[in-house]
Amino acid sequence: MTWFRDNTDKVMDLLLSHVWLSAVPIVLGFVIAVPIGWYANRHPRLRGFLLSVAGVLYTVPSLAFFLILPTIIGTGILAPTNVVVALTVYAVAIMVRSAADAFESVPPPVLDAATATGFAPAGRAFTVELPLAGPVLLAGLRVVAVSTVSLVSVGALIGVSNLGSLFTEGYRTDNTPEILIGVIGIVLLALAYDVLLVLAGRVLMPWSSTRATPRSGLRRLVGGGHA
Amino acid sequence: MIEYRSIGKTFADGTEAVGDFSLMLPSRTTTVLVGSSGCGKTTLLRMVNRMVDPTRGQVLIDDVDVATRNKVQLRRSIGYVMQHAGLLPHRKVIDNVATVLRLNGVDRKEARDRSYAVLETVGLDTSLATKYPSQLSGGQQQRVGVARGLVTDPNILLMDEPFGAVDPIVRDELQRELLRLQAELDKTIVFVTHDIDEAFLLGDQVVILRQGGVVAQVGTPKEIIASPADDFVRSFVGLDKGHRRLHVEERDGTRIVVDATGKATGVLE
């Protein structure tokens, strides 16, 4: 705790960049994956293909990905962009399947009723399909959030500062409290995201009991994590 | 007036839902299409608002071929009530009813006011207006469905087995409610059911369908009961079963009506 008191500013700086490095991929991943998932659900023949591509992307080891990316997208080897791009790809990879499942979970009779009452296709997609896919999208997003927060720390290995830097530095200087602070910080950040998402879900989807959605966020990460 | 002119429908997989169907549905009356599953009744109903387009022939509303009309605009001008109500689960009752008004560009306040009014018309307690559909009983949801169908005051109301999924007591109530509404509102109603009793209760014109949209008989309930076209109709209507074969017996000076199974069903006045 003394170490934390002496280094609060440093930890806060690292926390801030950790938030930044994880928030961008989570948001981008969601925004990119939702239309792909919607499309995959509408085209059953492409669904399998799209989901397989997403699955394969997720199996690329993150450290290797961070290191290869600069040569693919022409960024500097130490640029935070590498981490953001790589994590966005992972977020899309996880989220596409969730999104496809989410749109599949919308009851066809409701869609039929919406069409029959005079919704135009675009209006129906945004005001009926998207909100009704919400609960499953949220479940997927919780997994993405927790997974991304944890993956950001790997970025420390290629010199992109974040809470993970406390691991690398603490390990090098044999400073156990520093490593512990890193772990606690990351876990708390992941929890904060999760709580925020659940609350957002309650506010945005009062019709759905978000309590009933699977508390899959942490459990799935612990069970089938990937770093 | 709605007119089916030599309608045929073959689905993409080759099944022929309707062979050759023609019918006139007079304005401000209720026409009931009745038949077993697979007779094409729902397909025929859904051709009116272009949820299904016929492969052959035309559907005309007041002499205008619906194929010439924009699908979305057409649907917004026709009330549609379906089985299980088909309400949007993420919108409150009042917003479900207001949906079509809002789609038609009516402003929020007016849409709400008109929706409250129509909820009262269909006999729904307006305190339910701010609930979500899942918080309502099946019968209440169906009333909301009817309210949604009526809110734009359309000339035509399409009803696809609307009371098929509610229990018999509630169904009874909703049927009587629909008769009352129709007496007040005078819509052109196309009603689909597999229940011949419901057809006879609600229909000014009843169309009995065989498989493939083949018309077995068209007429008023009285005409059909008085002179069923053939054995299929006789059997479908139940004239060959005991409960429709009635005779009068006299008991202590009162003439009572008894069916062929011996069950007393009423008093003759």
Residues B8 and B72 grouped into a single domain: yes
Is residue B127 within 8 angstroms of chain A, CB to CB?
no
Residues B91 and B143 grouped into a single domain: yes
Instruction: Name which of A110, A116, A208 is nearest B51 (Cβ-Cβ).
Output: A116
Q: Would you say residue B71 lies in a domain?
A: yes
Q: Are A97 and A51 in contact (CB under 8 A)?
A: yes
Residues of chain B with Cβ-Cβ distance to A112 below 8 Å are: 51, 82, 86
Q: Would you say residue B137 lies in a domain?
A: yes
Residues B38 and B73 grouped into a single domain: yes
Last residue of a domain, one of B125, B153, B181: B153
Chain A: closest CA distance from residue B183 (Å):
24
Residues B128 and B192 grouped into a single domain: no
Helix axes A44-59, A80-104, angle to 10 degrees: 150
The per-residue DSSP string of A113-127 comes to HHHHTT--HHHHIII
Residues B218 and B175 grouped into a single domain: yes
> Which runs of consecutive H residues, i.e. helices, occur in A7-61?
8-42, 44-59
Predicted structure pTM score = 0.84
Q: What is the pLDDT of residue B215?
A: 94
Residues B179 and B164 grouped into a single domain: yes
Q: Residue B46 sits in a domain of what CATH number?
A: 3.40.50.300
What residues of chain A have any CB closer than 8 angstroms to a CB in chain B? 109-110, 112-120, 123, 128, 131-132, 134, 205-208
Q: Would you say residue B37 lies in a domain?
A: yes
Residues B10 and B74 grouped into a single domain: yes
Residues B132 and B164 grouped into a single domain: no
Last residue of a domain, one of B105, B130, B153: B153
Q: Would you say residue B250 lies in a domain?
A: no
Chain A residue closest in CA terms to B151: A117
Chain B residue closest in CA terms to A207: B90
Q: Would you say residue B126 lies in a domain?
A: yes
Domain tally, chain B? 2
Residues of chain B with Cβ-Cβ distance to A123 below 8 Å are: 103
Is residue B86 within 8 angstroms of chain A, CB to CB?
yes
Residues of chain B with Cβ-Cβ distance to A204 below 8 Å are: none
Q: Would you say residue B57 lies in a domain?
A: yes
For residue A209, name the pLDDT band (cuts at 50, 70, 90). Answer: low
Alpha-carbon gap, residue A114 to B100, rounded angstroms: 10
Is residue B105 within 8 angstroms of chain A, CB to CB?
no
Reported ipTM: the value is: 0.87
Residues B65 and B113 grouped into a single domain: no
Alpha-carbon gap, residue B206 to B19, rounded angstroms: 19
How big is chain A by its Cα radius of gyration, in Å?
A: 19
Percent of chain B clearing pLDDT 90 (strictly above): 82
Q: Would you say residue B113 lies in a domain?
A: yes
Instruction: Name which of A110, A117, A205 is nearest B100 (Cβ-Cβ).
Output: A117
Burial (CB count <10 Å: 0-12, 13-18, 19+), residue A172: exposed
Q: Would you say residue B242 lies in a domain?
A: no
Chain B: closest CA distance from residue A118 (Å):
5
Q: Does the pLDDT at position B10 exceed 60?
A: yes
The pLDDT tens digits for B103-151 are 999 999 999 999 999 999 888 999 999 999 999 999 999 999 999 999 9
Residues B28 and B138 grouped into a single domain: no
Residues B96 and B205 grouped into a single domain: no
Last residue of a domain, one of B99, B120, B153: B153
**What are the distances in angstroms from CA A196 to CA A141, A183, A205, A210, A216?**
11, 20, 14, 13, 15
The pLDDT tens digits for A132-178 are 999 999 999 999 999 999 999 988 888 888 999 998 888 899 899 89
Closest to A180 measured CA to CA, from A171, A193, A189, A172: A171
Chain B: closest CA distance from residue A134 (Å):
10
Residues B165 and B64 grouped into a single domain: yes
Residue B30: give the domain boundaries. Answer: 2-78+157-228
